[in-house]
Structure 1
């Protein structure tokens, strides 16, 4: 098993590749942060569902069921990693970016947990901009 330096980029890449290949589901190594990212993707309507599988250790994974439109188009047309291990991106509440004028969503890691840009603005908090989803 190989070590991944940026697990969030790996998470986004696995979802992007599975969508391009028209897979129904994708399996991702488990972490609490990835579960929170999957929860937000489900709440925002980008995926059908997700399920945590395995008991503990390296066999633990998240199974994500991808969402497609009636004509087979992906619900997620784009995923973009913003903050990376080599270049962290932090924004105050007033400067949180809007993705495609509100059509997409920015996911932030805040002092109140992992949130969308909408909820972070509502709560008046800023944080690390993890990724854009549209």
Structure 2
């Protein structure tokens, strides 16, 4: 039984990058789909596809690598808010990841978004993870 599906999602992506896989397949949920959309919009993944077959469905993510140096676009993924200790931030306390080079993904009242979008909308929320 998995008690933290977002941590499992991040770990599967992290392991696929370390193994130099092109595609990773992850069990789907609504929050995972929204995080995937944010990663795609910010350019951290190449493409994604939601497959609705089966009871839960899956997310297929095509990972992005530099064609010359073969370095992944995602250097690290860190889970911030955990089931045992939730991390909430107001709009004026939102974290800056690597001085703005990375992003923080937040779950807000207006949906899942990056920290930069949340600052422009003046909304705070739960800090799910850091990506850089």
TM-score of the superposed pair, with normalisation by structure 1:
0.96
Shift of 1:128: 0.2
Shift of 1:56: 4.4
How far apart are the structure 1 equivalents of 2:79 and 2:16? Answer: 17
How far apart are the structure 1 equivalents of 2:120 and 2:84? Answer: 29
| 1:84 paired residue number | 82
Q: 1:57 aligns to what SS in structure 2?
A: coil
How far apart are the structure 1 equivalents of 2:131 and 2:53? Answer: 30
Shift of 1:42: 0.4
Q: Which runs of 5+ in 1 are unaligned?
A: none
Shift of 1:65: 0.3
| 1:63 paired residue number | 60
How far apart are the structure 2 equivalents of 1:47 and 1:28? Answer: 14
Q: How many residues align?
A: 131
How far apart are the structure 1 equivalents of 2:52 and 2:97? Answer: 35
Indicate the RMSD between aligned Cα atoms, in angstroms: 0.8
Q: Which runs of 5+ in 2 are unaligned?
A: none
The list of structure 1 runs, each at least 4 consecutive aligned residues, that deviate by more than 6 angstroms after superposition, is none
